[in-house]
Homo-oligomer: A and B are copies of this chain.
Amino acid sequence: MAGHESAVTRLRSQGYRITPQRLSVLDIVAGRTGHIGADEVWNLAKEQHPYVDLATIYRTLQLLKRLGVVTEVVIGNKLHFELADQHNRHNHMVCSECDTVQTLSPDYLAEFSHRLEHEFGFTPDLDNLTIGGKCSKCLEAVA
């Protein structure tokens, strides 16, 4: 939700422990307007906490994703993360040629999502859906 403090309460109330490493990761992702790669989170986290391990970064990011605190964006063959903001939800379209990212209103997927739930009982995880394809520039470049 709105961020950061509520995420801490959320973690605690679900039995998860508040550790300096987790606070660091949360601060770093929350301090970004856009998405950030796991390796970059690691580099920034090490500035405050030199001995953090990359595995901890990955585990923390996956935890925060599971809790809906951050969302995941697949760019090329790397994972990026950003703070999940209920007031500014969006999806990502990533060009497989140039890795350019465009954002998209979830409205475009609303009807699709409802149909999957009603007709198949399947609840898609749209918040973490990255749509791959080709942007107009790269499509022209081939032609």
Chain A residues at the B interface, C-beta cutoff of 8 Å: 93, 95-96, 102, 104, 108-109, 111-112, 115-116, 120-125, 128-129, 131-136, 139
Nearest CB to that of A112 among chain B residues?
A: B112
In contact, A132 and B128 (Cβ under 8 angstroms): yes
User: Across the interface, which residues of B come within 8 angstroms of A108, CB to CB?
Assistant: 112, 115-116
How would you classify the secondary structure of chain A's contact residues: helix, strand, loop or mixed? mixed
In the complex with contacts A108-B112, A116-B108, A102-B125 CB distance below 8 A: no
User: Across the interface, which residues of B come within 8 angstroms of A96, CB to CB?
Assistant: 125
Q: State the oligomeric state as a number of copies.
A: 2
Closest CB in chain B relative to A61 CB, distance in Å: 14
Closest CB in chain B relative to A9 CB, distance in Å: 21
In contact, A124 and B132 (Cβ under 8 angstroms): yes
CA distance A35 to B44 in the complex (A): 40
CA distance A53 to B78 in the complex (A): 24
CA distance A31 to B143 in the complex (A): 33
